[in-house]
Chains A and B, each alone.
Chain A
């Protein structure tokens, strides 16, 4: 007589057998005392495990879990603060000095020209523009001698835009030589670079 395998007995108790297999196992056990004894032994084990009482937890774990959660959390590393008031002031100072320098060099037209140049050159953002002084002066001289916009008139309504005379702009005139202006520009640029590097430096690691 072929007895049931351990696998068949286990799967029978686990209700993992199909209907026909289950019926076959039951039919065998009806006539086999040895397999019934093996099944009973397994059933006792199942009952022992099922009746194993729970062990009571002695203390609340939540405080320890919360503590570990905070300990294991990565230390906050603030992102570089780009638009701080100090940086904005510094940027304003650099831009102001730059515009003043340009206006000194070529009255009103130069800031617009350099602004467009700035937009073209200032990408990536921390690169400051380096002026092509001779080109700026040449362009600005031509703009100063000729009106920047041609005068025109509209048929209706009749309107004549005022001719903008760049010579009418009063700029604080400081008779600084070109070398001096270049020196100031270099200082301002250097200040900007140093300031950027200080403001954007990596903060020290926070000790746990």
Chain B
């Protein structure tokens, strides 16, 4: 448990963007892993399996918060024109800026980015993990990248 908790926490943190929420999601991930341990294939490494559960747990949480959320990037919150001290602190560094832009993505986009870029899953594996068609995975991933690239253009 201790060996994998950092990676599981980070997978949840990429999706949720809040330390407390990510810790809670990581705990839930381990709970689910214990509960569904019969589904784990012992011939494969445990870490990636746990991280995939963490993404699903986080995605469920995000979708529960916003159940009717369409996969519409326009629905993502726009940046505050008069950012307060908290928003300024978030956008201070490059890392924080990337994290903030990731969190502005719709939950499904965050999930495909996490699974492709941070967990190195193929399109087919992502489709299997999220239970959606391959075409949806590609469409979500490419749109998410396009949005991120546009929003982070000023960083380069």
Contacts and interface: CB of A to CB of B under 8 A. Distances in A.
Interface in A127-149: none
Nearest to B35: A72
Nearest to B6: A57
Nearest to A38: B149
Interface stretch (B41-49, B57-65, B71-79, B117-125): B117-125
Interface in A19-67: 41-42, 44-46, 48-50, 52-62, 64-65
Contacts, number: 77
Interface stretch (A6-14, A101-109, A162-170, A194-202): A6-14
Interface residues of A, number: 30
A168 B108 CA distance: 91
Contact of A42 (B26, B27, B149): B149
B27 A49 contact: no
A77 interface: no
B142 A57 contact: no
A54 B10 contact: yes
B118 A49 contact: yes
A44 B156 contact: yes
A146 to B, nearest CB: 67
A72 B116 CA distance: 33
B138 A49 contact: no
B133 to A, nearest CB: 15
A16 interface: yes
Q: How large is the interface on B (under 10, 10 to 19, 20 to 34, 35 or more residues)?
A: 35 or more
A72 B152 CA distance: 43
A69 interface: yes
Contacts of B99: 52
Interface in B128-147: 138, 141-142, 145-146
Given A10-B141, A55-B9, A55-B13, A61 B30 contact: yes
Given A49-B113, A52-B98, A69 B31 contact: yes
A68 B31 contact: yes
Contacts of B117: 46, 49-50
Contacts of A50: 117
A64 B98 CA distance: 30
B155 interface: yes
Contacts of A46: 117
Given A50-B117, A52-B14, A69-B34, 19 more contacts: A14-B116, A16-B122, A41-B149, A42-B149, A45-B148, A45-B149, A45-B152, A48-B98, A49-B98, A49-B113, A49-B118, A54-B10, A55-B19, A56-B6, A58-B23, A60-B5, A61-B9, A61-B26, A65-B27
16 contacts: A41-B153, A44-B149, A45-B145, A48-B98, A48-B155, A54-B10, A55-B9, A56-B6, A58-B19, A58-B23, A60-B5, A64-B23, A65-B31, A68-B31, A69-B31, A69-B34
